[in-house]
Structure 1
Amino acid sequence: MMYNKILVAYDRSEDSEKALHQAVKLAELNHASIHLVHVSKESHKFSNQPEIRIPYGTGSIGNEGHAGVPSPVHESGRDGALIEKSEGEAMVREVKETLYHMGVNVDSDVRVGDPAKEIVDLAVMTEADLIVIGSRGLSGIKKWMLGSVSQKVAQQSPCPVLIVK
């Protein structure tokens, strides 16, 4: 089977690193291009507690010796997702540069939402010939509750899926 466009799901987990290496080998063999995708989960979807952040540099210790603690900043909704997305973009940019220097033709996307759905949608949109994904991502216990992303991708994908472990 010849592959022209290989979609690789990447989240810095050990399995996604292995998936990326495998995809690069396949791309080199097939003279294929790689489309790198990172999906940031919608922030705080699984928790009702907004994340609390103390703004840096705003706490001061008064003469009485107690800390003047600033009021916490509540991050919720799109705000948190934007922070996640920009971290994802930085991560993807790094990998993209490395691949570019190796002579691999690479595109990338950072999406926010349900990882399996976003990966499958992108595979359809880019007409990918193959999806390469690690068997386990960074999600830990959530994965156990929600079913593995790689399993969902394999079930819903329009093209073959290579699950790397």
Structure 2
Amino acid sequence: MKYGKVLIALDGSDGSQQALQYGAELAKSTGSELTLAHVLAEPAYPLYGEGFTMAAYKGSIEQEVRDAATSEKGHGEELLEEARNTALHYTDHVKTEILEGEAARSICDYAKVHDIDLIVMGSRGLSGLKRMVLGSVSQQVLSEAECPVLVTK
């Protein structure tokens, strides 16, 4: 089967590095276009204890959130640049995307809008209680994506 457009979802984990390797090799053998994507988490506002007056600290909280988002975006850009350099050893058809929001939904929405033929992603390997409580992004993408999904371990 020919996959014209392949999306590789990267989060910096060992599993996503394996997904990058597999997806890049697949692109080389099939001539696929690669999109490397990293999802920035939605900003989390810090919670403070009893008696905290929100109005008094609103500016500093907003600054903390902006600083964290800037740092996370920088990390995501570095991750994608390293991945792009790796992928370019296999194919010249590589682009990168920073997505924002809930990871599984962002990946599935991007794939749908951009007519992605295959999503390749790693499994973080959550086990036991963590998997039951948190679920996993790969499980959610497998469930929600409208195209085939390949999960590497």
Q: For residue 128 of structure 1, give the secondary structure of its aligned residue in structure 2.
A: coil
Q: Supply the distance in 2 between the matched residues of 1:150 and 1:160 (Cα, whole angstroms).
A: 12
Paired position in structure 1 for 2:56: none
**1:94 corresponds to which of 69, 82, 92:** 82
Q: Once the 2 structures are TM-superposed, how far is the Cα of residue 143 of structure 1 from its aligned partner?
A: 5.7
Is the Cα–Cα contact under 8 Å of residues 35 and 107 in structure 1 kept in the other structure?
yes
RMSD: 2.3
Question: Based on CA coordinates, which of the two structures has the bigger radius of gyration?
Answer: 1
Higher strand share: 1
**1:81 corresponds to which of 69, 82, 93:** 69
Q: For residue 88 of structure 2, give the secondary structure of its aligned residue in structure 1.
A: helix
Is the Cα–Cα contact under 8 Å of residues 25 and 90 in structure 2 kept in the other structure?
no
Q: For residue 159 of structure 1, give the secondary structure of its aligned residue in structure 2.
A: coil
Pairing 1:29–2:29 present: yes
Paired position in structure 1 for 2:7: 7
Higher helix share: 2
1:59-70 aligned at under 5 Å gives the runs none
Q: Supply the distance in 2 between the matched residues of 1:120 and 1:133 (Cα, whole angstroms).
A: 12
Q: Once the 2 structures are TM-superposed, how far is the Cα of residue 129 of structure 1 from its aligned partner?
A: 0.3
Paired position in structure 2 for 1:133: 121
Q: Supply the distance in 2 between the matched residues of 1:164 and 1:13 (Cα, whole angstroms).
A: 11
Counterpart amino acid of residue 86 in structure 1: G
Alignment TM-score, normalising by the size of structure 1: 0.74
Q: Once the 2 structures are TM-superposed, how far is the Cα of residue 142 of structure 1 from its aligned partner?
A: 6.4
The percentage of counterpart residues that share the same residue type is 39
5+ unaligned residues in a row in structure 1: which ranges? Answer: 50-72
Q: For residue 77 of structure 1, give the secondary structure of its aligned residue in structure 2.
A: helix
Q: Once the 2 structures are TM-superposed, how far is the Cα of residue 137 of structure 1 from its aligned partner?
A: 7.3
Paired position in structure 2 for 1:145: 133
Is the Cα–Cα contact under 8 Å of residues 85 and 111 in structure 1 kept in the other structure?
no
Alignment TM-score, normalising by the size of structure 2: 0.80
5+ unaligned residues in a row in structure 2: which ranges? Answer: 49-59
